[in-house]
Amino acid sequence: MGVFSYQYPTSNDSLLFNIIPTHFPPLPPIIDQSISFTTIVVLFITMVSLGCTMEVSKIKTHILKPKGVAIAAVAQFGVMPLTAFSLAKVLQLGPMEAVAVLICGCCPGGNVSNILALALKGDVNLSIVMTTCSTFLALGMMPLLLYLYCQGFSNLESAVPYTGITLALVMTLFPCGIGILINYYRPQYSKTITKIGLSLLLISMVVIGLLASVTRGRMNMMLTVLSPQLMATAALMPLIGYTFGYVLSYLFRLNRSGQRTIAMETGCQNIQLCSAILKVAFPPDVIGPLYLFPIVYIVFQVGEALLLIVLFWVHQRFFKTTEKEKQVHEAVESEEASQPSDVAV
């Protein structure tokens, strides 16, 4: 696939990657090309939609007061890669399974977090700026983190196509720049493009999953991605990200809305970028069905976020109301106590 292709060594070290069962027949060329094309197009459109959410004035405001952005950057590139590495070790994932999980963990934040932050009454402007900054920081941080964490696995130093990943990250900045220009010169189109991008992301996940499973023998491939180890990884990663993002921002005394925002930003990964890297940067016989792992991840990512949103709104609806009623009742009692009692004549 052109600039993203990566030539693996032909020595015995290449046997390391022979972890995909050989009874999986290769995808028909038309199906494989369709998945690759769909992945790249969706990534392009979603990155344009991400750019449409960015405003230079908002970015400047948070850069001048960078506390929230700095905490988010530490959480994004500190918590998530370490979580991915730890889960890969604890759950004893295979070499390429570990690579797929590490790439997912080292990806920048995605624009889904902006919607989740809004639903949690978070700081949407901070969420957008954090997504923007993590996207640009990923250009250097993602290859570096992958290199460092791959040292913890035997013979994985040469497993990751760093050149292809770096080129993929550079090329994601181009559509992101287009979105910024659209938002600056034609802001009336930004909301429509953003809605299209988010809708297309969700639809594409279903389409890619269907394309991968329609041909004969694909069910075994799907079961490989749905193995207990990978399912546990996909379930725990976003939950740990949400938790540690909230705790970290709490320790640094960020306000409540900022805490909820950073929690969502930490646990939400740029799934479309992860899918594109896994599908395009790795040869099909090396990555096997593992390019579908981001689809499993986003199911848990969104599902767990929705559960947190429901819990938040339940808390807002009942507990906040009870607290207000208690405050009103105490105020009335205090006012009555302060009034002089009538003296009988």
Give the pLDDT of residue 189: 87
Give the pLDDT of residue 345: 42
Residue 157 · residue 95 · CB < 8 Å:
no
- Domain assignment of residue 3, yes or no: no
Q: pLDDT of the chain along its 345 residues, tens only?
A: 444 444 444 333 443 444 444 445 566 677 777 777 888 888 888 888 888 877 777 777 777 778 888 898 999 999 999 999 999 999 999 888 999 999 999 999 887 888 888 889 888 888 888 888 888 899 899 999 999 999 888 777 677 888 888 888 887 888 888 888 898 888 888 888 888 887 877 777 677 666 666 554 555 666 667 789 999 999 999 999 999 999 999 999 889 999 999 999 999 998 888 988 888 888 777 777 888 898 889 889 999 999 999 999 998 888 765 555 555 555 545 555 555 555 444
Which DSSP string do the residues of 197-262 spell out, in sequence order?
A: HHHHHHHHHHHHHHHHHSSTTHHHHHHHHT-HHHHHHHHHHHHHHHHHHHHHHHHTT--HHHHHHH
Give the pLDDT of residue 314: 92
Give the pLDDT of residue 38: 80
Q: What is the total count of domains within the chain?
A: 1
Give the pLDDT of residue 53: 79
- Domain assignment of residue 290, yes or no: yes
Which ranges constitute the DSSP H helices of the chain? 29-52, 56-64, 67-74, 80-90, 95-106, 112-119, 124-150, 162-185, 190-213, 218-225, 228-251, 256-267, 271-280, 284-287, 293-314, 320-338
- Domain assignment of residue 183, yes or no: yes
Q: Residue 283's domain spans which residues?
A: 28-308
Q: List Cα–Cα distances, 246 to 83, 105, 262, 305, 307, in angstroms.
A: 15, 17, 6, 13, 15
- Domain assignment of residue 83, yes or no: yes
Separation CA 50–CA 110 (nearest Å) = 8
SS3 24: coil
Residue 123 · residue 259 · CB < 8 Å:
no
- Domain assignment of residue 14, yes or no: no
Query: CATH code at 129?
Result: 1.20.1530.20
- Domain assignment of residue 2, yes or no: no
Query: Minimal CA–CA distance to 272: which of 343, 171, 190?
Result: 171
Which residues, other chains included, contact 220 with Cβ-Cβ below 8 Å and sequence gap of 6+? 21, 23, 24
- Domain assignment of residue 105, yes or no: yes
- Domain assignment of residue 316, yes or no: no
Separation CA 37–CA 164 (nearest Å) = 16
